[in-house]
A = this chain, B = another copy of it.
């Protein structure tokens, strides 16, 4: 890890607000690629651990102190905390700062940014790296976490194009593939491909946990289906609540498929089951 030398296209002095898996990995990747001159961290919980691991250079006592004099600010706390941070730092941001967030939900963050950022709004480029894990905390941070992964950028009509390009190039330096979605489209898609599926994984695990079944009876299929259920309960409660309406719509889509399977089992309709499962398997086999 480098602790300073700044490559062309780097972010300069970076305030990192949130030092868990994603924030810690972002910091590690910035250092690996020499894309930050200094990383100043603030977080409610684990910033000291991130400092001891060398992920960040300095820990401060408040978000306002962290952002003072910074060239870039990264919001990497749980989504509701990122929303609260926008209000706290909105008027404290230096002119020309690049501001981004890595929240799993976009619309609520964007609305808070519009309310609180004022003149700093053009520097705000929302994003979401599709690189979560059931692991959490700075201990799980990995400079390679984003390599080969997709990162969604959701720039606003007000976002400064040069800031969007700067951020896009940072993610590309980390080996990520950058795609763009509007905040609304992002939240609709991720309710269906991530947020509600995580809820389903928790539900499966909770149903088995509630039935006191010997661990030795559990096979690989259920281990795969519930791997995400080892994720942070608080983080996922926050994500579902922040994206409630799209999540409830996604829940309906999944409920429709479950009802179709249940009805086919009740009717003994082998052809209906095989057709539904074949449609699912064709999709899954395509993904590899």
Contacts and interface: CB of A to CB of B under 8 A. Distances in A.
Contacts of A254: 203-204, 207
Interface string A157-174: 000000000000000000
Interface in A172-212: 177, 179, 181, 189-190, 192-194, 197-211
A119 B211 CA distance: 39
A241 B273 contact: yes
Given A219-B130, A253-B210, A229 B265 contact: no
A210 to B, nearest CB: 7
Interface residues of A, number: 89
A218 B288 CA distance: 12
B207 A278 contact: no
A205 B262 contact: no
Interface string A224-242: 1111111111101110110
Contacts of A198: 221, 225
A210 B276 CA distance: 11
Contacts of A220: 131-133
A207 B256 contact: yes
A240 B238 CA distance: 35
Contacts of A84: none
Given A200-B204, A233-B278, A248-B265, A193 B210 contact: no
Interface string A97-135: 000000000000000000000000000000000111100
Contacts of A177: 216
A130 B203 contact: no
A279 B284 CA distance: 29
Interface string A244-288: 100110110111111001100110101001111111111111110
A5 to B, nearest CB: 32
B219 A257 contact: no
A150 B217 contact: yes
Contacts of A236: 273, 277
B192 A284 contact: no
Contacts of A216: 150, 177, 179
Nearest to A177: B216
Most chain B beta-carbon contacts within 10 A, residue among A213, A216, A225, A226? A225
Contacts of A248: 262, 265-266
A221 to B, nearest CB: 5
Interface of A: 130-133, 149-150, 152, 177, 179, 181, 189-190, 192-194, 197-211, 213-234, 236-238, 240-241, 244, 247-248, 250-251, 253-258, 261-262, 265-266, 268, 270, 273-287
